[in-house]
Amino acid sequence: MHAKQFKKRSDIPEKYKWDLDDILKGKKISDLINEFQKLSEKSIEEKDSKYESKEKLLKALKREDKIDSLGQRIFNYITNNVNSNMIDPEMNKLYKEVEFIEYKINKEIGPELPRIFKHEKNIKKWIELEEFKNYKRTFVEILETKKHQLPKKIQEFRSIQNRADTSLDEIFDLITNAELNFGYATNSKGKKIKITRANLSSLRENSDFNVRKSAMQNYIKAYLNHKDSLSNILFQHMKKATVWAKLKNHNSVIDYLVFNDRGSEKLLLSLYASVQKNMDVFKSYDKLHKKIYKAKFNKSMTKYDYSVPLVKVKGKYTVEEMQEMVYKSVLPFGKEYSDKVKMAFDERWVDYMSVDNKRSGAYSIAGSKSIDKKYILMNNDGTIRSAETLAHEMGHSMHTYYSDKLHIRDAGYKIFVAEIASIFNELMFFDYMLNNTNDDKLKFKIRKQMAEGFEGTVLRQIQFSNYEYDVYKAIEEGKPVSTYEALSKIYYENSKKYSLRAIKKYKENEQVASITIPHYYYGFYVYKYAIGQLVANIFFAKYKKEGKQALQDYIKNFLSVGNTKRPIETLKDAGINLENPEEYNIGFENARENIIELKKLAKKLFKIK
């Protein structure tokens, strides 16, 4: 079936919808919730006494594993149903009910860490026993945080007060998703087109320059109309982190922000320096892009022309064609990996089609140790980019599949490494497509997509991350940066290090990205996209050099490790040292080689010199 926008979910054929009922395994969701509550009540009852002996503690830990398992099933069943239809009254009501149940349970249990620290001496002795092997890492990591913990009374207050916290990210989402009026794009004949988030990409690709220009100008104008409120919200969000850093005895706000991943400021600065050192990669692509545009359209490219398609390729792929391409691209990983991908397609792990009131974008579920199917949500439009998205999300799902073989305490993986497997799958997909087509236009489109993907996840995300870093530092030093003028000027100064061309002077409307990126609210996250891209390129380069054995090593030493080690240690054991700036060179070299191949295709297709 070709992709299309459906009005009702019931109109979509079953084979293109995910099978969420498999989570329930024949039970009702109410049965799982009741079981979750009963086990939680037992944990509340024994919250203090469980530390009286190693036998009681082990029994309590195993019960907590069951609670966690049930919670994963309940959460995924409800949230994925909500995301399938965001106005479903029954599921939204259930979500709120379960959220309140969890709040009450957490309130009754109260802060756990003071209990652990109180019994630290016995816990350190017990976790060396064989029966505690699955729990040792958990306790070791908790005990390492002791110097960063708040006093017990404050923790108790926080466990209750959390529900009253101002969610600045929710305010940002409300303003940017519900209150912004982007107005209209106007074509060269004066016809107006309503601008929405959903159609912005297509408007930027429109063949009419007037449409492209007015769409982008009015999109930016909508944010600038709210620049003062958005600036203050972002400032307040970042200020909160600087306060927590002090309260929790961290050396700096950056130390606080990278602590959960056991990262370091050294790693960040090394990454920033590496990107700045390799700016030639991005500048060479920008120069080539402009040259191709001029050859095709006989005019210079402006900032409104970057998304204009340069070639026409096959317009649409059916779901079945996309499945086949993704399946064949992963065959080098071996039988277990490729068989599981085929099973994902056959057993309805994926929700493909766009439908009114479905959540936008795409994702692969997390927290799924107790769930057989590692579900994927998409909004398939039938293009090669949607096929790439399927490959990307399947990379996440396969990472989850391998890590979920471990004990529930070690299953899953940190966000720090989450993008590596998905981007590696993209590279395998592109490699398969390039090796199995004689269509130079398709090859050109794929290589251009690879170049843009590398630029978007490495250059742009590091630019954003370095800006965040500078703002956090400024707030920590007490500088007044709560206004758009202040934030946008920090953004402007930072942009000079990552610009593809000389920036001559500050222009207010060109700094709007200083306040518009949702990921600024995700806990200092965006630099991890760059790590995902660069590390995936390193793994891919090893595969191209060493063959299929490199893929088996990747499965064994990375995908299957889960949370048994810290992310940086996992990568070190897989042969990648992130604190060594030279390590990133392989990723940049791959990008250079891709641009060289892109230029060869451009010479054939556009007769450029």
Give me the active site residues, please: 393
Q: What is the rounded CA–CA span in Å between residue 440 and residue 194?
A: 36
DSSP code at position 561:
T
Cα separation, 541 vs 80, in Å, equals: 36
Whole-angstrom Cα distance, residue 566 to residue 564? 7
Q: At what angle do helices 89-109 and 54-84 cross, to 10 degrees?
A: 160
| DSSP annotation string for 265-330 | HHHHHHHHHHHHHTHHHHHHHHHHHHHHHHHHHSS---TT-TTS--S-------HHHHHHHHHHHT
Taking CA atoms, 419 is separated from 217, 493, 553, in Å, by 32, 29, 18
Tokens found for residue 454? 């590398």
Question: Residue 132 region, left (φ>0) first, then alpha (ψ -120 to 50), else beta?
Answer: alpha
Rounded to whole angstroms, the Cα distance separating 18 from 423 reads: 23
Rounded Cα distance between 367 and 27, Å, is 20
Distance of alpha carbon 35 from alpha carbon 68, whole angstroms: 12
Angle at the Cα of 440 (from 435 to 444), degrees rounded to 5? 90
Give how far Cα 209 sits from Cα of 181, 182, 201, 478, 497, Å: 22, 18, 14, 45, 30
